[in-house]
Amino acid sequence: MEKRVYGVIGIKSVMANWNADFTGNPKSISTGEVFGSDKALKYPMKKMWNEQGEKVVYIKSLKMDEGKKGKKDAEGPKVRPKSLKERYEEVFEVEDLKKEDSIKVLTNLFKAVDVKNFGCTFAEEKNNISITGAVQITQGFNKYNGHNVEEQQILSPFRDGTKDEAESSTLGTKIVSNEAHYFYSFSINPLSYKDYVAMGVTEGYTEEDYNKFKEVAMVSATSFNTNAKVGCENEFAIFIETEKELYLPELAQYVTFNKGEKNIIELGFNDLINDFKDKITSIEVYYNPYTTIIKGELNKAKYFNIFTKAEV
């Protein structure tokens, strides 16, 4: 691919918890600002690719362990997460990773769509590999000032079976954001794999790889329905394709979000982008026109419905 790509991905969360910390609360920094990690955005992308039958290595998968046999106190079968070695062997149909040399492992890893986009750290016996991904995604900060944390009490239908004296069913807690709007910057640098292309282990980052990323960047959060993520959806994405010599800062820092009769997403990087108009080949903006207005005059920009992909 002979270009760079810069952009922003926007995620809406209403009465949901896009990215919880270990206390169950939405992740935040010391100032109280709420954010979502890049892992929170990448996970539904990987899930979607996996469901489409693509090769995905870095995603949780389970196996049934039979337990240790021949011992009086042996544990029975258990469901456990697979190790990285086991996942690699499953995805690439390899009998034993230890028999693979580093070149073969590298070649296989670049066949996985998540590795091709995001890179990986592969630390296994005889193979210690680190690949810096062509796609880099920042932390996504909430831009909505009206954010509040809501705590819901949930009544379980069962009593605590560990306490003989328990007569009532147990209580649980669900913690959500009343409303949050996260904006992530991303950049794509196909030259990241230049050395690996020279080694012959990959053809490099291609248009096909970019199109696969672009697809999930617009719909994977919407498609990812779990109890905590129902209420989360993709609401915005912008893809700015440039000449490969152009270097732009992260763009989400310039984005503002305001509530109104319709939500307003203001793109505060107009002057920055328009100053480089001769080095920009295309700009595509995807958003929800039923609920949102985009403010910002960008040269060469085309606007699309993020759900139907029809031009607005």
- pLDDT tens-digit map of 130-163: 999 999 999 999 999 999 999 988 877 776 666 7
Backbone angles phi, psi at 131, to 5 degrees: -120, 120
In angstroms, rounded to a whole number, what is the distance separating the alpha carbons of residues 122 and 57? 10
CB-based burial, 28-58: b 16+ in 10 Å, e otherwise = beeeeebbbbbebbbbbbbbbbbeeebbbbb
3-class DSSP state of 8: strand
The answer to whether the pTM exceeds 0.75 is yes
- pLDDT tens-digit map of 3-33: 999 999 999 999 999 999 999 999 999 999 9
**How does residue 229 score in pLDDT terms, banded at 50, 70 and 90?**
confident
pLDDT at 228 over 70: no
Mean pLDDT, the chain, as a whole number?
A: 92
- pLDDT tens-digit map of 178-219: 999 999 999 999 999 999 999 999 999 999 999 999 999 999
Backbone angles phi, psi at 120, to 5 degrees: -170, 165
Would you state the pLDDT for residue 126?
Answer: 83
- Per DSSP, the chain holds a count of helices (H) and strands (E) of 7, 16
The answer to whether residues 183 and 257 touch, using CB atoms and an 8 Å cutoff, is yes
